[in-house]
Structure 1
Amino acid sequence: MSTSPERYTDRFERYADRHPRVVDAVLVLVVTACAIVGSGLTRPGAAPPQRDTTVLVVMGVSCLALFKHRSHPRTVTVVNAVCIVVVTALEYVLTPLLLAPVMAAMYWLTTHTGLRTARFYSVTTAAALMAASAVFDPTYASSPVPRSIGYCFWLLLPLAAGSMTRLRRAYLASVQARAEHAERTREEEARRRATEERMRIARELHDVVAHHLALANAQAGTASHFALTNPQQTKKILTSLTDTTSSALRELKATLGVLRHSSAPAAAPLEPSPGLARLPELVSACASAGLAVTVTTTGEFRPLTSGVDLTAFRIVQEALTNVTKHAAADSARVHLTYQESRLLITVTNDGPSGSTVAAAAPVRGFGIMGMRERAHTAGGELRAGPRPGGGFEVAASLPLPTATPEAPSEAADNPTGEKA
């Protein structure tokens, strides 16, 4: 099975990242071997025996300096440039083997500092080599252009290799950064959706539990009040109390059903989300708790999407629940206004002017906050507060669909002007 050069390069880079000192030692040994071999290539009669030790010492210094290329790349390049100029002054032939240390220094200088800095050092070193060759090499004058081109080629070669390595590292870093960003974005999106789902379930549970428990409490209190004086009315209220608790259990089961991950084919289907079509049931339940609710509708009926339909019903339900629990009133009014692009919902109750504190009590709970969150989620708005003459008012504005709705509402069948 063949392996592509890219895979070999990736493996070498990963190994170099894990063991940088080992890689540096191997490369310095290879460069030292090249320099030793290159020092034996001299012109006939130009290298007396006493100069062999000198050139080995100079090349040894240049090779040992390469160990500091990570921390001091410029200093290492300067040391190697000076050493190669000294070797040139000793009248040695500047072969690629002798140039290996300074070429390695140029390569590492390019990878560590960039092409602009390395270009300056490369041009300076080439100029110094040409000057030293012109002074100490008697054969340089016979072919200065080819020799100069050769110096420039060998010194510019590591710059090209270093630039390619630098670009490759930058590309890999950008790819890794994009992958990490995408991973963080996916995690943040997952956390955001989980938070939104928890908030939605919390609002549903609050609306279901708070509404039905408030009605059940009011119905139980009313039944207790009529227990001795009106047994027939008491029996009717207790029957309504049973219906209220049964409805609470059904809605609670439907709400918690989204938390289940059962794939059993025999699983029971969830109950559809309530909408304005169930306003008569809500009015009847409030009546059994002693709250008379009047529902009026103005404007031409417009079908609602399932989300807006559910939001509208929950807002009316929570507003009437707050009236049942907090307001000193025995009646409430629900008014639905269908405009061209908005559905206006107003729930008001009358109360004595001195009951402002009692009327404002829901603001400290989660009811109004949940209604406002629902309205904002559906693209609408909601305001709630005490009325100037007493009582409390909840007003919401929800958008109406401009295209084919998801699920039409039957709110037009609600009683208009009916008082329970």
Structure 2
Amino acid sequence: MTSILERYAERRPRAADVATAVAVCVCTLLGAQISTSESTPPHALWPAWILVASSAAVLGSRSHPRATLAVTTAAAAALTALGYLPSPLLLAPVMTALYWLAARTDSRTTGIYAAATVTVLMATSLAGAPLGDDLILRTAGTVLWLLLPVSLGGRSRFRRAYLESVQARAAHAERTREEEARLRVAEERLRIARELHDAVAHHMAVAHAQAGTAAHLAETHPEQTRKILADLVGTTTSALLELRATVGVLRRTAGPDTDPLEPAPGLDRLPDLVASCASAGLTVTVATEGPARPLSPGVDLTAYRIIQEALTNATKHAPDHTALVRLHYDTARLLVSVTNDGAAHETAVPPVPGGGYGLMGMRERAHSVGGDLRAGPRPEGGFEVAAVLPLRPRTAADDPAGPRPEESR
């Protein structure tokens, strides 16, 4: 029943205030008729105007609780000074104002105003009638009746604050879910773009170099040209297969009938990568230091993609057409470096209109597994790409093999 009244008061506050004022006016008129042997209130008609004014002031208790409390307290003090008994009916306007004061303001303000109201009404009540049997009613009774609306108003304020906090948390959670969904979509788009770049750019660079070499040797070395063209077919086929595998991840749906996709590349495919570079005219030497250690799928893919992108850049920009790949296995990390010995100013990757994404993608891959990467000209000449990768990501959540679909293929 209380919740129904509260919902109605929230929907129609003006009608609720008018009904409250009328009810309070009736209560005060009834309260003015209550007396004891010691309280003999006057029977004149003019105090009724005080009751009406006090009840009318209740209309503004919702919007101006302090002013309403001051008016109703003054009216109640005038009546109790005339000898009226401070019953709960007579104090109904003051109790209503105290309720809205406690519901609309903070605890400190409510405490100060409530203490002042109780003090004034007790003083005027004791001064307006001789001490007798109704002393308890004029003292303890006044305090208890006035504290009741204060506690109810405070409870209403706390309940409203709780509901607002719940709504705020719900709105924040909804907003956070939307932001997290947008972030996941952005991360997935970035991952797909990086994977497409790494898968296609290398093969296209090698195919471009093979086609140029074949055109150059077509008239003078037909046998070598035919071999290069055969390698070109293999290069383009590999590019199509990697592109198909990457796009297949986007089309894959969970279910028992899902077609299996080929596994993500790793360092075990490094000989094929070196062979494709050799057919494009880049001589690649691979040096391994230390016993090979097992790598997590994410680190294995990252190392392969870094070497692939570095060799792609070397195929396009290295003047001496040679590159050295070093793999150094440590107790807890793998050091990968790709270098060439051309002049530093010739080997540096020229800026690409709109920005290049090869080095950026390599750096992002290294950071995604908890490693680091640097790339730039060497002091002794040439260009170097060096990465430090942990053998295992720091945590399972850091391993791209878990959430990334291309590594579960």
TM-score by length of 1: 0.87
The residue correspondences of 1:95-106 to structure 2 (distance < 5 A) are 95-106=87-98
Structure 1: how far apart are the matches of 2:248 and 2:108? 65
Structure 2: how far apart are the matches of 1:261 and 1:330? 40
Residue matched to 2:9? 16
Residue matched to 2:405? none
Residue matched to 1:281? 272
Which amino acid in the other structure matches residue 211 of structure 2? Answer: A
Structure 2: how far apart are the matches of 1:157 and 1:391? 86
Report the 3-state secondary structure (helix = DSSP H, G, I; strand = E; otherwise coil) of the residue aligned with 2:264.
Answer: coil
1:155 deviates by 0.8
Residue matched to 2:404? none
1:267 deviates by 3.6
1:269 is the counterpart of 2:297: no
Aligned counterpart in structure 1 of residue 25 of structure 2, from 28, 32, 45? 32
Residue matched to 1:416? none
Contact 2:86/2:138 (CA < 8 Å) preserved in 1? Answer: no
1:359 is the counterpart of 2:348: yes
Aligned counterpart in structure 2 of residue 343 of structure 1, from 331, 334, 338? 334
1:184 is the counterpart of 2:181: no
Cα distance change of structure 1 residues 250 and 75 upon mapping to structure 2, 3 Å threshold: same
Structure 2 residue runs of 5 or longer lacking an equivalent are: 402-409
Report the 3-state secondary structure (helix = DSSP H, G, I; strand = E; otherwise coil) of the residue aligned with 1:347.
Answer: strand
Contact 2:338/2:384 (CA < 8 Å) preserved in 1? Answer: yes
1:395 deviates by 0.6
Residue matched to 2:143? 152
Aligned counterpart in structure 2 of residue 225 of structure 1, from 174, 199, 216? 216
Cα distance change of structure 1 residues 165 and 351 upon mapping to structure 2, 3 Å threshold: same
Report the 3-state secondary structure (helix = DSSP H, G, I; strand = E; otherwise coil) of the residue aligned with 2:292.
Answer: coil
Contact 2:122/2:139 (CA < 8 Å) preserved in 1? Answer: yes
Residue matched to 2:54? 62
The residue correspondences of 1:100-179 to structure 2 (distance < 5 A) are 100-138=92-130, 140-179=131-170
1:396 is the counterpart of 2:387: yes
1:330 deviates by 1.2
RMSD between aligned residues: 2.6
1:301 is the counterpart of 2:292: yes
The residue correspondences of 1:193-232 to structure 2 (distance < 5 A) are 193-232=184-223
Residue matched to 1:411? none
String of CA shifts for 1:156-197, please: whole Å, max 9, x gaps: 111111121122122222222222232233223222222221
Residue matched to 2:306? 315
Which amino acid in the other structure matches residue 117 of structure 1? Answer: T
Residue matched to 1:89? 81
1:264 deviates by 6.1
Cα distance change of structure 1 residues 255 and 23 upon mapping to structure 2, 3 Å threshold: farther
Contact 2:299/2:393 (CA < 8 Å) preserved in 1? Answer: no
Contact 2:20/2:58 (CA < 8 Å) preserved in 1? Answer: no
Contact 1:292/1:332 (CA < 8 Å) preserved in 2? Answer: yes
Cα distance change of structure 1 residues 130 and 48 upon mapping to structure 2, 3 Å threshold: closer
Contact 2:85/2:138 (CA < 8 Å) preserved in 1? Answer: no
Aligned counterpart in structure 2 of residue 249 of structure 1, from 216, 219, 240? 240
Structure 1: how far apart are the matches of 2:95 and 2:359? 75
Structure 1: how far apart are the matches of 2:75 and 2:257? 86
- Residue identity over aligned pairs, in percent, reads 54
String of CA shifts for 1:350-387, please: whole Å, max 9, x gaps: 2135xx05524268511111101110111111111112
Report the 3-state secondary structure (helix = DSSP H, G, I; strand = E; otherwise coil) of the residue aligned with 1:336.
Answer: strand
Cα distance change of structure 1 residues 397 and 84 upon mapping to structure 2, 3 Å threshold: same
Report the 3-state secondary structure (helix = DSSP H, G, I; strand = E; otherwise coil) of the residue aligned with 1:189.
Answer: helix
Cα distance change of structure 1 residues 12 and 322 upon mapping to structure 2, 3 Å threshold: farther
Contact 1:294/1:333 (CA < 8 Å) preserved in 2? Answer: yes
Structure 2: how far apart are the matches of 1:144 and 1:402? 80
Report the 3-state secondary structure (helix = DSSP H, G, I; strand = E; otherwise coil) of the residue aligned with 2:284.
Answer: strand
Contact 1:347/1:393 (CA < 8 Å) preserved in 2? Answer: yes
Structure 2: how far apart are the matches of 1:233 and 1:42? 124
Structure 1: how far apart are the matches of 2:261 and 2:16? 65
Q: How many residue pairs are counted as aligned between the two chains?
A: 396
Contact 2:287/2:326 (CA < 8 Å) preserved in 1? Answer: yes
Report the 3-state secondary structure (helix = DSSP H, G, I; strand = E; otherwise coil) of the residue aligned with 1:152.
Answer: helix
Contact 1:297/1:335 (CA < 8 Å) preserved in 2? Answer: yes
Structure 2: how far apart are the matches of 1:240 and 1:157? 93
1:125 deviates by 2.3
Cα distance change of structure 1 residues 378 and 12 upon mapping to structure 2, 3 Å threshold: farther
TM-score by length of 2: 0.89
Structure 2: how far apart are the matches of 1:274 and 1:309? 8
1:317 deviates by 0.2
